[in-house]
Structure 1
Amino acid sequence: MKAGTGLIAGQRPTPELAHEAVLAALAAAGLERADNVILLLSRDFIRNPQPAVLAAARAAGCLAVCGCTASGLFTEHGWQMDQPAAAALVYASPGGETPADSPILSFSGHGRLPFEWQDDAPRAGLLDAEAAAWSLARTSDSGCAEFRLPSLRTRLARSSGLRRLGDALPVDACRGFELGRVGGHRAVDSLYRALPPELRERPPLHQIVALRHPDEPGIAILSAGGDGSLMLADTLRDGETITWAIRQPLAAEQDMRQSLSAAAASQSKPDFALMFSCIGRGPLFYGNDDRDLLAFRETFPDTPLLGAYGTGQIIPQGGQNRLFHNTVLTLLFESTHV
């Protein structure tokens, strides 16, 4: 199986960027035309992405072009966040059966996970608020696009990047989104008791979440009240248990490496990969570098990778499709052809 990626940046969001990105990907794969193209464009293209999508289709010689705009783009060679850019992955598959449990590649520009996607077939992909999306080389009017990559087996690796702070605690009082008491203490006091001493004077609330379960999305803290309560991004019920958790660069990098190592140990080397990361991770989180991308390159050297930074990651979890935040979803693909 042949696959390759290309990332091209420029001064203006022109269709030529998409055309050149596909040509670069074809050259990297050693192909003259592609069977499928995943095209990602920077947010500079939101107003009118269709010309760039068509330019990519012409360059690839196929109409199987899917993708979306995103807050930042990257390939295995590097990332781009501050210029108009286009990134493409092309592949030619020798054919084969597509496993029934292979997730549908899904892109959305909605503010939250579309309701109809929550309980249907497994989905994996990216949500970026107000993004444009396309499939089969046509921009979607609904802001959503979906595509099933044929003849491929898929493995998923998820890294939440969270460091848990202590044991699970019971919720004593919660009214709607307002968390009043946890583990016999005011919610703020419970959180302060769990934090390392150096963080108690100025708690980084934007990096702290409440976890119902390690496999579920974390619940963000929106604000702290003068009465010791905490305003959350989701509701809790009295009697539930939560664990406080925090996002920190070192813990996040370690979690990313562990998730990739577990995926690498279970199967053979992938033919290519997709990675959907949070705008709150990557260079903005690690300090002008993407340690998650570095971990991928070290775990899967010379593997073509296409990725994007967005506001949410769509992940099949526990029989449902869930929207995660501050998470890195890596999809590893290999041909089903024997």
Structure 2
Amino acid sequence: MKVASGLVAGQRADAELAGAAVEAALASAGLSRADNVILFLSREFSRQPQPAVLAAARAAGCLAVCGCTANGLFTERGWQLDQPAAAALVFATEGTSLTSADSPLLSFSGHGRLPFEWHQGKARVGLIDTDAAAWSHGRNSDNGCAEFRLPGLHGRLIRSSGLRPLGEPLPVEQRSGYELRRLGGHSALDSLRRVLPAEWRERLPLHLLSVLRQADAPGIALLSANADGSLTLAEALSEGELITWAIRQPLGAEQEIRQALSTALDQSQKPDFALMFSCIGRGPLFYGNDDRDLVAFRDTFPDTPLLGAYGTGQIAPLAGHNELFNNTALTLLFESAHV
């Protein structure tokens, strides 16, 4: 297998950017054409992505082009957030006989939530970016959803939420709709303040805080702190269930993904390439001047081709069904399945 990535940025959202990204990837892989292309385009392409998708297909010499638009793009060489850009990953099997494998169904959506029919069935991994365009087999999707399976590949998923639990699990004692009123013998607001560092108790960093039902479950966002001591959450809880406060911090998130990547390297061989689906609330906007998740990947898997995008939600399987995560970095490590 030959595989490589390419990232090209410009002043305008021209279709030629997509073709140039594919050509850069082909040159890096030493290929004249590709068997499959994963193409991500910046949000400037959302209204009319088809010319760029066709330009990528022409450059690759194949119609197996899938992907979506996103808030930002990256490869192993760097990231792009603030101007029109195209990022592509190309690969070719070059006649190698490959078996069907356990690669998950890559899924992309421009909906605000996980499509209903995607909750059950095949294991999916992918990205949601609100109002994004999506495409598969070289054609833009009319319903804003696209799915694609890379043939003959094993995929290992690494999920990094970046959430650090605060305190012990507490029982929900009183709630009303999306408002959490009392838990663990205190008002919701007092309960939260008791586990926070002193400097954050008066000015709550709500954008960094979450509620966890389980350690590996998606975090539930805190939307507002109310004058009556209640907290408004993004999801409704049930009285009697146990929840844990959690916080996202850059150092803790970086340590978590480094440990997860290192463990994956210890358990198996170096991957042929990787995909990463991250959050626009993570990446450089979370870490400061760089994407520390990307740095961690490069440190663990040097010279491994990587393609990634920043969206508003990440799709991953959990306990037999598919879930929508936020502020999470999903890394798919791919290895070829030889006969």
Structure 2 length-normalised TM = 0.98
- Matched residue SS, 2:269: coil
What residue number does 1:159 align with? Answer: 160
Which amino acid is 1:81 matched to? L
1:61 maps onto 2:61 in alignment: yes
Which amino acid is 2:214 matched to? H
Which amino acid is 1:155 matched to? R
CA drift at 1:114 = 0.1
Which amino acid is 2:5 matched to? T
What residue number does 2:176 align with? Answer: 175
For residues 249 and 128 of structure 1, what CA distance do their matches in structure 2 show?
23
For residues 307 and 334 of structure 1, what CA distance do their matches in structure 2 show?
17
For residues 87 and 52 of structure 2, what CA distance do their matches in structure 1 show?
11
For residues 290 and 95 of structure 1, what CA distance do their matches in structure 2 show?
37
Check whether the contact 1:156–1:263 (CA below 8 A) recurs between aligned residues: no
1:86 maps onto 2:104 in alignment: no
What residue number does 1:28 align with? Answer: 28
What residue number does 1:284 align with? Answer: 285
CA deviation string 1:18-50 (max 9, x = no partner): 000000000111111000000000000011000
> Within 5 Å, which residues of 2 pair with 1:283-302?
283-302=284-303
CA deviation string 1:112-144 (max 9, x = no partner): 000000011000000000000000000000000
Which amino acid is 1:208 matched to? L
Check whether the contact 1:72–1:310 (CA below 8 A) recurs between aligned residues: yes
Residue among 94, 97, 105 paired with 1:95 = 97
What residue number does 1:309 align with? Answer: 310
CA drift at 1:207 = 0.7
Which amino acid is 1:186 matched to? S
% identical aligned pairs:
71
Question: In the comparison of the two structures, how many residue pairs are matched?
Answer: 337
For residues 262 and 99 of structure 2, what CA distance do their matches in structure 1 show?
27
For residues 98 and 144 of structure 2, what CA distance do their matches in structure 1 show?
31
Structure 2 gap ranges (5+): none
CA drift at 1:98 = 2.0
Which amino acid is 1:201 matched to? E
| Root mean square deviation of aligned Cα | 0.7
For residues 179 and 246 of structure 2, what CA distance do their matches in structure 1 show?
18
Which amino acid is 2:65 matched to? V
For residues 336 and 77 of structure 1, what CA distance do their matches in structure 2 show?
26
Check whether the contact 1:65–1:136 (CA below 8 A) recurs between aligned residues: yes
Structure 1 gap ranges (5+): none
For residues 337 and 56 of structure 1, what CA distance do their matches in structure 2 show?
28
For residues 50 and 10 of structure 1, what CA distance do their matches in structure 2 show?
18
For residues 298 and 98 of structure 1, what CA distance do their matches in structure 2 show?
31
- Matched residue SS, 2:28: helix
CA drift at 1:102 = 2.4
Structure 1 runs (4+) greater than 6 angstroms displaced: none
CA drift at 1:95 = 3.2
CA drift at 1:198 = 2.2
Which amino acid is 1:145 matched to? A
CA drift at 1:265 = 1.5
For residues 176 and 159 of structure 1, what CA distance do their matches in structure 2 show?
29
- Matched residue SS, 1:63: coil
For residues 338 and 198 of structure 2, what CA distance do their matches in structure 1 show?
55
CA deviation string 1:199-220 (max 9, x = no partner): 2121101110000001110000
For residues 166 and 177 of structure 2, what CA distance do their matches in structure 1 show?
24
What residue number does 1:252 align with? Answer: 253
What residue number does 1:129 align with? Answer: 130
CA deviation string 1:4-25 (max 9, x = no partner): 0000000000011000000000
- Matched residue SS, 2:275: strand
1:194 maps onto 2:188 in alignment: no
CA deviation string 1:215-252 (max 9, x = no partner): 11000000011110000000100100001000110011
> Within 5 Å, which residues of 2 pair with 1:263-278?
263-278=264-279
